[in-house]
Amino acid sequence: MKARLIGGIAALLVAIIGTVLLVNYVQNADRRALADTETESVYVVEKTIAAGSGIDKAAGAVVRKEVPKLAVASGAVTDLNQIGQKVAAVDLMPGEQLLATRMVDADSILGPARVQVPAGMQEITLKLPIERVVGGTLTAGDTVGVFLSVDDSATRSGGTQLTFHKVLVTAAQFSNGSTATSQEAEAKEDASSSALNSKKSASSNDTYLITLARSSADAEKIIFTTEFGSVYLSKEPATAVEGTSGVVNTGRLFR
């Protein structure tokens, strides 16, 4: 009985020692394989990095590894300072080398409901009901006319004016922030469209978030009117004739 017990314990010890040796052998396999090979230290993706994500926001997503020089991909990142605040242009999968060519400026990842902001301009977002955004048909990339209306009850005066022409819409969303696609795009299953006349989210309440690109001075006027008056947007394409009769008030309304 004792002999069997001792034999069992001995077998268990042999198995444990064998397992430890095997694990050490496997762990050192890479080092042995690279012992006589010229290598270079590059960054390799450890966890999936979604398109639009920065390396700094994906903790532990990349690690530095020694790779045979012959296997180093063109553009492989050897220093994270090379990419700075750039984000992934596509999904990066575990095991692949981190490539500088797959990292782009964050502004380049705009999504289906955004367009690039012109240099020197700011973006402001207006939350407007459906009747003030051309029935909810505006799309990122459209240009609009901006009507400003102010009612000064203290002086019993007010007025409306088409103040800005062909203002670029840089984003168009439902009021809950979700992206909408056009009915035509749905029919064609085109995910790249961003018109607002599709099925609305249950929480949109027929209101929309319209983001405009404008200079600082113009943005001030639009924001002031949003706070103390009303803003309406018209769809004003490049072919539309620009013009205004000035400020329309009760004194000029029927002239």
Confidence at 141, pLDDT banded by 50, 70, 90 = confident
Confidence at 179, pLDDT banded by 50, 70, 90 = low
Confidence at 202, pLDDT banded by 50, 70, 90 = very low
- H/E/C letters for each residue in 39-95? EEEEEEECCCECCCCEHHHCCCCEEEEEEEHHHCCCCECCCHHHCCCCEECCCECCC
Pick the closest to residue 85 from 111, 110, 63, 107 (CA basis). Answer: 107
Handedness of CA 200, 202, 205, 210 (dihedral sign): negative
pLDDT for the residue numbered 230: 93
Pick the closest to residue 101 from 66, 129, 75 (CA basis). Answer: 75
More confident residue, 206 or 221: 221
Backbone φ, ψ for residue 243 (5° rounding):
175, 155
More confident residue, 121 or 177: 121
Mean pLDDT of 21-28: 65
Q: What is residue 112's DSSP assignment? A: T
**pLDDT, tens digit, 9 for 90 and up, residues 31-81:** 655 555 788 889 898 888 877 777 776 567 888 888 888 888 888 888 888
**pLDDT, tens digit, 9 for 90 and up, residues 209-247:** 899 999 999 999 999 999 999 999 999 988 888 877 788
More confident residue, 158 or 163: 163
The CATH number of domain 37-108 is 3.40.50.300: no
Domain residue extents for the chain: 37-108, 122-235
More confident residue, 71 or 203: 71
For the chain, what's the residue count?
255
How far, CA to CA in Å, does 227 sit from each of 126, 149, 208?
11, 11, 17
pLDDT for the residue numbered 164: 92
Task: State how far the Cα of 26 lies from the Cα of 165, in Å rounded to an integer.
Answer: 69
Taking the whole predicted model, whether its pTM rises above 0.85 is answered as no
pLDDT for the residue numbered 167: 93
Confidence at 26, pLDDT banded by 50, 70, 90 = low
pLDDT for the residue numbered 126: 93
pLDDT for the residue numbered 156: 65
Mean pLDDT of 177-202: 47
